[in-house]
Amino acid sequence: MRQTIRALLDSQAQGVLATQHDRQPYTSLMSFTVTPDLRWIVFATYRATQKHANLLANPRVSLLIDNRTNESLDYNDVVAISAQGVVSEVDRELRAELLQLYLRKHPELRDFVAAADCVLLQLKVESYYVVSQFQSVAELRMT
């Protein structure tokens, strides 16, 4: 299962981040990368966004990543992964290392992450839920 997770996370550039605002789900399309041990997913956002305010109020999130093509074959072939856990700002000690990892996957976002209002965030993954073949669900607990 780790190989399936690694392959999908490496092959996809974006996922859908679900936060909460006033007890209502709030979703955002996010560029991300993952650490080699799969324990941390790194992404960035501006501080002056609704998603950042949501994360400050409640850091528990879910990030959905999938490989759908919007074709009828997706029902049997698509793999979707939901990573669940807690988000925090990357601390100074790890910032350079995680920023380099992020920019290796997303070099086109160099100016975005260099902006003064941009914050680098890390999702400490507690569980991955892997859905394949339309209804097969498996869980990988990271704790």
Question: What length does the chain have?
Answer: 143
Q: What is the domain extent for residue 129?
A: 2-141
Q: What is the pLDDT of residues 79-104, one digit of tens each?
A: 999 999 999 999 999 999 999 999 99
Radius of gyration of the CA atoms of the chain, in A: 15
Contact (CB, 8 A) for 26 and 18: yes
Q: What is the pLDDT of residues 13-44, one digit of tens each?
A: 999 999 999 989 999 999 999 999 999 999 99
Total domains present in the chain? 1
Whether residue 78 has pLDDT greater than 70: yes
Percent of the chain at pLDDT > 70 equals 98
pLDDT at 74: 66
CA gap 45, 53 in Å, rounded = 11
Residue where the block lists tokens 């305010």 = 53
CATH of the domain at 125: 2.30.110.10
Whether residue 68 has pLDDT greater than 90: no
| DSSP code string of the chain | -HHHHHHHHHH-SEEEEEEEETTEEEEEEEEEEE-TTSSEEEEEEETTSHHHHHHHH--EEEEEEE---SSTTHHHH-EEEEEEEEEEEPPHHHHHHHHHHHHHH-GGGHHHHHSTTEEEEEEEEEEEEEEETTTEEEEEE--
Q: What is the pLDDT of residues 111-122, one digit of tens each?
A: 999 999 999 999
Whether residue 72 has pLDDT greater than 80: no
Whether residue 59 has pLDDT greater than 80: yes
CA gap 43, 32 in Å, rounded = 5
pLDDT at 132: 86
